[in-house]
Amino acid sequence: MGQHGMDPSAPLTGNPTKKTQRKLKKEMRTQLISFVLMIFLTSMAFISVASDAIPTSFAMPFILLLAIIQVVLQLYIFMHLNERGNGWPNAMIWTGVLIAIPTVASLMLLIGVIKF
C-alpha cells in the first residue's frame, strides 16, 4: 500500500464542490430542526408534569412515549443510523429492544410491580 505522498492528517485544501456544499447545508438544516424538536419534546414532558396539565395516571405513559420518540429520533438523526452501511447496528439495536421489552415486562410481573 503506497502512501502516494499524502498525509492523512493534513488539513483539506480548496473549496468543496457544489454537491458537497448542498449536502452539508441539508445536513446542518436537519440537525438544527431535530435539535429544536428535541428541546420541544423535553420541555413538553417537563411542562406537562410541572403544571399538572395531564392526569397523574397518564403522566408516566406520556413521558415514556415522549422518551421513546426522542431516543428513536436521536439514533437516526444524531447517530446517523439512517445512512448506508448501518444495517447491522440497526438490526442489533432493534433485536436488543425486542428482547429487552418482554424481559423487563416479565420480571415486573414476577416481582409484583404490576399485578393482574
The pLDDT tens digits along the chain (116 residues) read 455 566 777 777 778 889 988 999 999 999 999 999 999 999 999 999 898 888 888 888 899 999 999 999 998 888 888 888 888 988 999 999 999 999 998 998 888 776 66
State residue 82's pLDDT score: 82
How much is the CA Rg of the chain, to the nearest whole Å?
Answer: 22
Q: What is the pLDDT of residues 89-104, one digit of tens each?
A: 889 999 999 999 999 9
Looking at the chain, list the stretches that DSSP marks H as alpha helix, in order from N- to C-terminal side.
18-50, 56-73, 87-111
Which of these, 47, 77, 80, 83, lies nearest to 62 by C-alpha position? Answer: 47
Query: How far apart (Å, rounded) are the C-alpha atoms in residues 114 and 105?
Result: 9
pTM of the model: 0.68
